[in-house]
Chains A and B, each alone.
Chain A
């Protein structure tokens, strides 16, 4: 800000006051005080995000050579990742499974958020806490719980066996893509509910009354007023689930089996047993680019849809 233009008072007229230039700057510039307060966080985030990413990009341009690296820069890894069908297949499978889990979560969570926003009168807080509480507990344990439920000798199979409904365990339950999608949808539900709830809660009730007054029935009112106004919540809920789940590897590792493996498992393999870090870095960056691209397309499409709706 243009604080430097200030003309200093004549020092001869006011010899009593000692000039303290640094302090003067602090006192004058809010921006500087703000940046000083912000700096520890920014340093941590820079050290933890920016620099590692820069190195990740660098290493993706290197080549694995025994236990070391060939540090000459090359796009070979990217070419290889593009040529190997397994990489692309896993990438698209991950995107597909995350997409399915996202759609399922948002569709299932929307009525729930709607109910709490519009129909719960007392103890709203309790409902919100109940809906989000499981999210705060270990992700690993929630996934583990699904393994217990879906396992070959798990809750469902043994339950059905005990009641005599089946005489042989259902094998498709565990180690399948659907097992992964169900678990992801369940584990990330809280991430969907909060933004959906907030966007629904914000809607001015008199707008809904106006729509009714102007002749809309409940369905048309929902489509023409409630849904468009809650669209920001739908968008952020979708992105908040889709983006992190594409990179997930706990769920596919515990529940996916060979059919349910995702790109995250492949990345983990490159950094673990396969020990090809440059390829792991390459796959991470390709994943990031896909996520960013798809998120932008999604945002663009929802903007378009919003214009159509209103």
Chain B
């Protein structure tokens, strides 16, 4: 366990019968971090979150929170609180009773308790809602009540299980910003589960990408997007073009790769351990490819192709370009900077140019 880790997941496995939900995961989360678990449904992210909350126990391995081992600690004694995907607002209680639910043990005088609830109502921007029935609330309001109900207990960690999934797009984007701001204000650790990569990139300090119960990559948003460690992460987050190739030379921090279709190209080596003769893939993001009428002598690399399809999306356009020797059409994205579109709207021959350091070797 590293010293500054506030939550430490050590070699945790989880079996449901014979189904392995989590395969030997270790994660350290720092104090005050906004940490996201990202993956498609069934990847194990919710199971991991529920193990942090105490609703599931690891089949093997241990979870430490604030230095304490958590197995055998039931959910009601853990210093964490959770916001459920469906919010789990108590239907038989009003808003005030819902928010004050966890305060029973503190045996506060009524006035003090009401004061705390009112403070929370102010924090979630629902002042005066205390006497509303739980069943009279909209989705966004229920989400805020669930948040207030958890935060009033001043947990060391707040767990959020896809809390924005049920909201419509506009409200979701607003809540993303509010949640992030709230987390900065109160400064506690947030562990956030989502299947929405854009949401994870917007909000998180670090993101753990999971698939099939395994941890694929743990990195900052920039790291995940710019330098994915494997093909799964590269294709899960954003769009990515892949080119098959073989390493032909190694020089300092660069690899020279002979690719089908693109010819011989140079790409930074980064964390990979590939050497001459290894079969690799080169990955390039659509927006890193510049489409032009001619070969750009400034660019490190250049290849000609045939523009098949163009899709106009408003602020940018997507293009699909076929290149001899490359199986799938290459995706290209470009900003619509001038007011008259990109000019590439008819099938024709084009050039793609890119800088050496944008290519990622996988």
List residues of chain A with CB under 8 Å of any chain B CB: 1-3, 5-9, 14, 16-17, 19-20, 23-24, 27-28
Contact = CB atoms under 8 A, between A and B. Distances in A.
A22 B104 CA distance: 27
Interface string B45-63: 0000000001001111110
A5 B69 contact: no
A71 to B, nearest CB: 47
Interface of B: 15, 17, 54, 57-62, 67-69, 71-74
A17 B71 CA distance: 11
Contacts, number: 44
Contacts of B69: 9, 14, 17
B242 to A, nearest CB: 39
Nearest to A19: B72
Nearest to A5: B60
7 contacts: A2-B15, A6-B61, A6-B71, A8-B71, A9-B62, A14-B69, A24-B72
Q: Is the interface of A mostly helix, strand, loop or mixed?
A: loop
B71 A2 contact: no
Contact of B72 (A1, A5, A23): A23
Nearest to B74: A27
A13 to B, nearest CB: 8
A8 B17 CA distance: 21
B72 A28 contact: yes
B74 A6 contact: no
Contacts of B15: 1-2
Contacts of A20: 72
A291 to B, nearest CB: 35
A5 B68 contact: no
Contacts of B59: 1-3, 5-6
A166 to B, nearest CB: 63
Contacts of A28: 57, 71-72
Nearest to A29: B57
Given A1-B15, A27-B74, A6 B60 contact: yes
Contacts of B54: 27
Contacts of A14: 67-69
A17 B78 CA distance: 13
Nearest to B59: A2
Contacts of B73: 27
A20 B57 CA distance: 16
Contacts of A1: 15, 17, 59
A27 B60 contact: no
* Residue among B15, B58, B69, B73 with most chain A CB within 10 A: B69
Contacts of A8: 71
B71 A24 contact: yes
A79 B226 CA distance: 86
A6 B58 CA distance: 7
Give the 6 A-B residue pairs with the shortest CB-CB distance, closest first. A24-B72, A9-B69, A28-B57, A27-B74, A5-B60, A6-B60
Contacts of B60: 5-7
A292 B55 CA distance: 42
A20 B74 CA distance: 12
Contacts of B67: 14
B57 A17 contact: no
* Residue among B17, B57, B72 with most chain A CB within 10 A: B72
Contacts of B17: 1
A27 B68 contact: no
Nearest to A23: B72
A120 to B, nearest CB: 28
